Amino acid sequence: MTRLAHALLPFRFAPLLALPLGLVPRTAGAADPPADAAPEAATAASSIAALHFPATTRARLPNGLTIVLEENHQSPFVALQLRYAGGSCDEPAGKEGLAALTQRMMMMGTRHVPGGGYDATLDRIGATERGSSAGMESLIQSVTVPSNAVDSVLWLWSDQMGFFAPDDPKALLDARAASVRERDNKVNKVASGAVYELVTRAVYPEDHPYQRIPLGVSAESPTLEDVRVFHDENLGPNEATLVLVGGFLSAPMLERITTYFAPIPPAPARSAPRPAPAQLDEEIHLEVAANVKSPEVWMDWRTPPFFAAGDADLDAVARALVGQRWAALRWALVDQLHVATRVAARQMSHAFASDFRITATVAPGHTTSEVASALDGALGTLRKQGLSEVAIAAGRAEFAVTYLQDLDRAARRAHIYGELAAAHRDATGLLGDFGRIDALTTASVNETIARWLPRGHRVITFVTPDASAPLAGVLRATRGAK
């Protein structure tokens, strides 16, 4: 546990983590404490509000670039993140993997940076926590550098944004080969690695942008013109958020950022409407064969988007079902019925719609049908009885601890700032959205369970071991809408 979370827990979150007072054992004959000695009940929001973080500045350049700066003179380092609001969901039909390919080529070389120059520069300036990711809705680059090396990163990133000229056929071939290797390592050579894609395509309708998967590789190789068009249409300053957290002065830093990025013209405005969130119309069954040791059962529901009503409730539900302090599903399937060896649950939040997923690994001697029946029994009880305030408080507390651990690292704070800005939230209010967890009630959570986790509107996936099937899995049959 990090310093911040450890220091805060004993006196801030005790009311959330403790058992109800009536269950606390007392020594026989011990006198009750005076009423005014009882600690004042704290809430997650009041505890978070007591924390103090360095002042944050938000700015927007005329070309649309959003900038978030957290100035902290106690640190000799600066964590930077550049987030583009363009991902696999923006790829044209038949061009799967184009977003990740474009990002890879941007880092391989630009008009002013030769091949390999990006990584060589980061090596030279002592960069750490280097990373890049391609998601459904975003392309992200992040790095932490000494405070006196920030300009090198700003120059590299502005060059990728404004002076990317994909004109080297060999670089395109190398980037595509690297994308194929990445897919092999993260999908094809992973047990049940393809199930995520199969399920995702079943959860969302055929015309939904989430049908395009970040690690996809199209049968037809994208051209240099495809890469250029995707970059110019989706990766302009008006589609980007730049975040800096660490040791610098905000005013001069903003001037330096303006020098590097202001001359870059914006990308064309987008006109595509956001898909409306809606639950699945019926139940879909997928039968997947994979060369794995143990069968699996997946249950997925289409749920509200990130920050929409119900999203935070489902975060709490997931933690109450399989968390450390309250685990209704794990207790039922693993400890009581012994039909599963592992149960997990998660609300996977996205901008257009989300996916609430439960996965269970079948125990030896049992079947996927038994596990599915046990899950339905436990979920049926949950819908009928609802979650108690104790269970919700336990989930809320787990969220609080996880969130605090994230806030204790500059790189994670930079990520959260960027995430908030991308969701059109107040990116300067690092702690503001914590209140949506604190505001949960038994009524709101249980209404969300009934509304978004019904029995007949979901995707159920049965993964069956088959030595003749690929390790990642292959779809054998579909029953239902698809």
Block mean pLDDT (10 aa), the chain, length 482 = 35 30 33 46 54 81 96 92 92 89 92 88 94 92 96 96 91 91 92 94 88 81 92 95 95 97 92 67 94 97 91 89 84 94 94 93 97 95 88 80 80 88 72 73 91 93 96 91 52
What pLDDT is recorded for position 29?
Answer: 39
Identity (one letter) of the amino acid at 199? V
What pLDDT is recorded for position 143?
Answer: 97
- Spatial distance between the Cα atoms of 16 and 9, rounded to a whole number of angstroms: 10
| Closest CA relative to residue 354, chosen from 311, 299, 399 | 311
What pLDDT is recorded for position 465?
Answer: 97
Please name the residues in contact with 468: beta carbons below 8 A apart, sequence gap of 6 or more.
289, 291
- From the CB of residue 316, how many other CB atoms can be counted at a distance below 10 Å? 25
- Spatial distance between the Cα atoms of 151 and 257, rounded to a whole number of angstroms: 8
Looking at the chain, how many residues does it have? 482
Please name the residues in contact with 89: beta carbons below 8 A apart, sequence gap of 6 or more.
136, 137, 209, 210, 212, 352
Tokens of 317: 């539900």
What pLDDT is recorded for position 56?
Answer: 86
What pLDDT is recorded for position 429?
Answer: 65
Strand partners, 134: 139
Q: Angle 98-108/224-234 helices, nearest 10 degrees?
A: 90
Burial of 205 (0-12, 13-18, 19+ CB in 10 A): middle
Burial readout 330-359 (b: 16 or more C-beta within 10 A, e: otherwise): bebbbeebebbeebebbbbbbbbbbbbbbb
- Spatial distance between the Cα atoms of 257 and 161, rounded to a whole number of angstroms: 13
- From the CB of residue 209, how many other CB atoms can be counted at a distance below 10 Å? 20
**Domains of the chain listed by start with CATH number:** 56-261 (3.30.830.10), 284-479 (3.30.830.10)
Please name the residues in contact with 93: beta carbons below 8 A apart, sequence gap of 6 or more.
none
